[in-house]
C-alpha cells in the first residue's frame, strides 16, 4: 500500500514539474477504474436500501403492535366468551408476528449488509491492488522512457 502511495505521489510530482510523460490509460486500467466506481456506488446503494428495508419492516411491526392492542381492547368487551378468547389469541399471535418482523428486519439487514460488504471489499481490494500495480508500472515506464530519450543523441549534436 505504501509503495502504491509513493508511486502515485511521485507521479503527481512529475506531472507538476513537467517531467512525467502523460499517457492515456489502457483499456484494462479504464475498466478497473470503472469497476471501482461501480463498486463504490453499489456499496452506497446497499447501505441506503438496507436502511429503507429496516424502516419498512419496523413500520409493519408497529402496525402489528397497534392491531394487537386494539384486539385486546375489544376482547375486554366480551369477557369469558369464545369471541373474546379468539380476540385475545389473535392479539397474541399478532404480537408474536410483530416481534418476528422486528427481529427479521434487523437480522436480515445485517446479513445482507455483511454479505455484500464482504464481497464488495474483496472485489475492491483486488481492484485497488491491480490499480496500484498499474500505476507503479506506468511510473516505471515513464522513468525508463525519459532515461532512454535522455541517452539518445540529439539531432544537432556533432559526433
List pLDDT tens digits, range 93-150: 999 999 998 888 778 777 777 877 788 788 778 878 888 888 888 888 888 888 888 8
Report the distance separating Cα 14 and Cα 142, nearest Å: 10
CB atoms within 10 A of CB 55: 12
Average pLDDT over residues 15-22: 64
Contact in structure between 90 and 145 (CB atoms under 8 Å): no
And the C-alpha cell for 44? 452506497
- pLDDT grade, residue 21 (50/70/90)? low
Confidence check: pLDDT of 12 > 60: yes
More confident residue, 85 or 122: 85
pTM, rounded to two decimals: 0.48
Comparing CA positions, the residue from 115, 114, 129 lying closest to residue 36 is 129
Residue 22, SS3 per DSSP: coil
Comparing CA positions, the residue from 151, 153, 140 lying closest to residue 21 is 140
Contact in structure between 47 and 113 (CB atoms under 8 Å): yes
Return the residue matching grid coordinates 397474541. 92
Amino acid at each position: 500500500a505504501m509503495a502504491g502511495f509513493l508511486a502515485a505521489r511521485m507521479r503527481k510530482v512529475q506531472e507538476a514539474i513537467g517531467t512525467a510523460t502523460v499517457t492515456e490509460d489502457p483499456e484494462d486500467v479504464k475498466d478497473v477504474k470503472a469497476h471501482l466506481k461501480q463498486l463504490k456506488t453499489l456499496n452506497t446503494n446497499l447501505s441506503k436500501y438496507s436502511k429503507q428495508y429496516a424502516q419498512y419492516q419496523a413500520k409493519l411491526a408497529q402496525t402489528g403492535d397497534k392491531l394487537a392492542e386494539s384486539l385486546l381492547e375489544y376482547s375486554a368487551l366480551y369477557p369469558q366468551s369464545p369471541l373474546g378468547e379468539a380476540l385475545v389469541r389473535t392479539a397474541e399471535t399478532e404480537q408474536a408476528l410483530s416481534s418476528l418482523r422486528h427481529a427479521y428486519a434487523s437480522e436480515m439487514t445485517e446479513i445482507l449488509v455483511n454479505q455484500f460488504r464482504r464481497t464488495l471489499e474483496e472485489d475492491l481490494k483486488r481492484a485497488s491492488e491491480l490499480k496500484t500495480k498499474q500505476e507503479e508500472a506506468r511510473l516505471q515506464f515513464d522513468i525508463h522512457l525519459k532515461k532512454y530519450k535522455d541517452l539518445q543523441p540529439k539531432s544537432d549534436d556533432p559526433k
